[in-house]
Amino acid sequence: MKNLSKKSLWLSGAASLLLLSACDTEATDEVDESVEAEAPAETDEQVLNVQLNVEVASMDPQIATDGTSFEVIANTIEGLYQTDSDGQAVPALVESAEKGEDGLSYTFKLREDATWSNGEPVTAHDFVYAWRRLADPDTGSEYSYIMGIAGLVNANEVLAGEKAPEELGVQASDDYTLDVQLANPVPYFESLMSFIPFFPLNEDFMTEVGDSYGTSPETLLANGAYEVSSYEPAATTIELDKNEEYYDADNVVLDGVDYQVIKDSQQAMLSYQNGDLDLVTLAGEQVDLFKDDPEFVNVQAGYLWYISPNTLVEGLENANLRKALATSFDKQQITDTILKDGSVPADYIIPDGLAVGPDGKDFRETSDTYLEYDPEGAKESLEAAKSELGQDSFTFGLLVEDTESAINVAQVLKSQIESNLDGVTIEIEQMPKKTRLERMKQADYDLGLTRWGPDYADPMTYADLWVTDGNNNDGAWSNADYDELVYSSIDGELSLDDEARWEALKEAESILLNDAGVLPVYQKGNAVMVQDNVSGIDFHAVGLPRVYKFAVKE
């Protein structure tokens, strides 16, 4: 009897599964039908279908922190500047900019034909409002410190809560003139203005919708090429329509952009081959299958993956041990056999192609490389560390987020470190990205495989990460000379002299890496497939990964 009932349980379980999946197919069928139903009516509609790897975390420009959110926001909202296909800042809402002679003030004249999608004009007040909002500690923006990097007068005091946001060095002298006062020259200020947290918001609209901003198409405003027509928090599909109110609408060819969140790269590729997607990102093994395809594109991204050692952990405060770890894994093997997506080994911390110096050359062209793969040297460093620490075996946990590539890379790291370094054991702890970030924030880790994407085109976007007590200095690495060089480059003496500053940043990098304060692994490349009837998508290494304003689908 018992077994019978068990069987029937199984049966009913299977039946309910079937039912569930039936519901699923029904739901998708419905969606398909509605799409098909619309299609005959407007057959010549050009909609770009794009795959996203993760959901959009926030549509609020001052709250969002991740690349995916940035991409969608940047399609709907435009700031003072935007990056062109070469990664240079070009004017967007700015008609003309005037830089004070000492580099301490900017006057931006805004274009007068820009409007929000509700018909209101985009004015200088919108910028003042958004910037004060960003700096206001009550907003709780994780990117608020960027106001200090931008060097606005009183920015650090407002961030610390010592002064009111109204005292921030930005004013609207009339509706279309924005005055900015800086505490120190910031050579990359214009590039910084194309970064999402500096994007404007309409104060009246914000007061109207309150906290519900960015939770539905009705609570979103656009002044960019597209406006949101379908969105909800954590949505797996997001639809953007062309924004007819956009001042440059004549140059926007697409009728819209549809985003689909597909986390599994195989599934995404199947959709691409069915023609349901126009742009997908490939992973690992798939690259082999498609690398000869004319639709295959390899894009270098600025993201740098590195291991952050927690110097508060016993053993890792020893520079020789960190150096031994940093030089004991073969980066070339990781990029060539595991990732295969165009990633390159990183023997540096300022990515290639990030920033061009006063000499007109890329930062990497004129600077050295550090911590190359060197198993013999690693063994020597380890011996030195062993005698300094009086310890023969070390066990460290390695925090990894649970994505396919991160887990694979971590397993290679573990295997190579353990085989090259006698007595070192690595224990991989995999967890969701959010948990990993939290644990690293609380310094509750030994080693963490993490990444940082460049926010603006200047080495400072990386260099300021590792100053003592820095917001993102999870490993608590500290060096007085490094601090001095970086702080002086932000708002001290060096900030006044472009060339000396450039040299100082090179020196800072050498201090950091010669002490193995971080263990660089690789600079990410992206392997993407773009349908051959699609053109005009801009891929960027800095700030925004992809821009669709000029995309065309034939």
Partner 1 sequence: MDKPLNRPIQQTLNDFSFIGQDNVRVMDEVYEEDSFWKQLVKRIAKNKGSVFGFVTITLIIFMALVGPMISGYEFDEQIAGHESMAPRIPVMENFGIFDGSETLKTSTGELVVNKYETIEGGEDAYHWFGTDVLGRDLFTRTWVGTRISLYIALVAVIVDVFIGMSYGMISGYYGGKVDNAMQRSVEVLNGIPNLVVVTLLIIVLKPGLMSITLAIAITGWIGMSRVSRASMLKLKESEYVLAARTMGAKDMTIMYKEILPNIFSQLLIMSMFSIPNAIFTEAFLAFVGIGIPVPMASLGSLISENFKSLTTHFYMIVPPVLVLALLMLSFNLLADGLRDALDPTMKEV
CB of 24 to partner 1, least distance (A): 18
CB of 305 to partner 1, least distance (A): 17
Question: Which residue number, 203 or 295, has a Cβ lying nearer to partner 1?
Answer: 295
Contact 87, 542 (CB under 8 A): yes
Question: Which residue number, 1 or 480, has a Cβ lying nearer to partner 1?
Answer: 1
**What's the rounded Cα separation, in Å, for the pair 217 and 181?**
35
CB of 263 to partner 1, least distance (A): 11
Q: Which are the contacts of 526, defined by CB distance < 8 A and separation ≥ 6? A: 281, 298, 299, 300, 301, 341, 342, 539, 545
Contact 525, 299 (CB under 8 A): yes
Q: Which residues partner with 91 through β-bridges?
A: 81
Q: Which residues partner with 472 through β-bridges?
A: none
Question: Which residue number, 192 or 339, has a Cβ lying nearer to partner 1?
Answer: 339
Nearest by Cα to 65 from 443, 437, 491: 437
Q: Which residues partner with 297 through β-bridges?
A: 528
Which residue has 């990515």 as its token pair? 351
CB of 408 to partner 1, least distance (A): 6
Provide the binding-site residues for partner 1, judged by CB under 8 A.
2-3, 6, 264-266, 269-270, 273, 283-286, 288-290, 292-293, 295, 330, 333, 337-338, 402, 404, 407-408, 410-412, 414-416, 427-430
| Three-class DSSP category at 221 | coil
CB of 429 to partner 1, least distance (A): 7
CB of 337 to partner 1, least distance (A): 5
CB of 433 to partner 1, least distance (A): 13
Contact 257, 149 (CB under 8 A): no
Question: Which residue number, 17 or 90, has a Cβ lying nearer to partner 1?
Answer: 17
Question: Which residue number, 81 or 329, has a Cβ lying nearer to partner 1?
Answer: 329
Contact 153, 165 (CB under 8 A): no
Contact 153, 183 (CB under 8 A): yes
| Three-class DSSP category at 174 | strand
Question: Which residue number, 84 or 264, has a Cβ lying nearer to partner 1?
Answer: 264
Q: Which are the contacts of 529, defined by CB distance < 8 A and separation ≥ 6? A: 269, 272, 279, 280, 282, 290, 293, 295, 296, 297
> What is the 3 state secondary structure string of 68-81?
HHHHHHHHHCCCCE
CB of 357 to partner 1, least distance (A): 37
Sign of CA dihedral 423, 428, 434, 435: negative
Contact 178, 110 (CB under 8 A): yes
284's torsion region: left (phi>0), alpha (psi -120 to 50) or beta?
left
Question: Which residue number, 1 or 37, has a Cβ lying nearer to partner 1?
Answer: 1
Please count the CA atoms within 13 angstroms of the CA of 242 that sit on its side-chain side.
19
**What's the rounded Cα separation, in Å, for the pair 543 and 84?**
11
Question: Which residue number, 329 or 462, has a Cβ lying nearer to partner 1?
Answer: 329
Nearest by Cα to 497 from 509, 488, 510: 488
CB of 286 to partner 1, least distance (A): 6
| Token pair belonging to 551 | 């995309």
Question: Which residue number, 428 or 500, has a Cβ lying nearer to partner 1?
Answer: 428
CB of 7 to partner 1, least distance (A): 10
Question: Which residue number, 293 or 438, has a Cβ lying nearer to partner 1?
Answer: 293
| Three-class DSSP category at 192 | helix
Contact 531, 295 (CB under 8 A): yes
**What's the rounded Cα separation, in Å, for the pair 276 and 285?**
22
**What's the rounded Cα separation, in Å, for the pair 523 and 520?**
9
Q: CB burial class (10 A; 0-12, 13-18, 19+) of residue 21? A: exposed
Question: Which residue number, 284 or 377, has a Cβ lying nearer to partner 1?
Answer: 284
Question: Which residue number, 212 or 415, has a Cβ lying nearer to partner 1?
Answer: 415
CB of 144 to partner 1, least distance (A): 31
| Token pair belonging to 417 | 């470190």
CB of 279 to partner 1, least distance (A): 15
Backbone angles phi, psi at 402, to 5 degrees: -90, 50
CB of 227 to partner 1, least distance (A): 35
Report H helices in 166-274: 189-192, 203-209, 265-274
Question: Which residue number, 4 or 234, has a Cβ lying nearer to partner 1?
Answer: 4
CB of 526 to partner 1, least distance (A): 18
Question: Which residue number, 188 or 290, has a Cβ lying nearer to partner 1?
Answer: 290
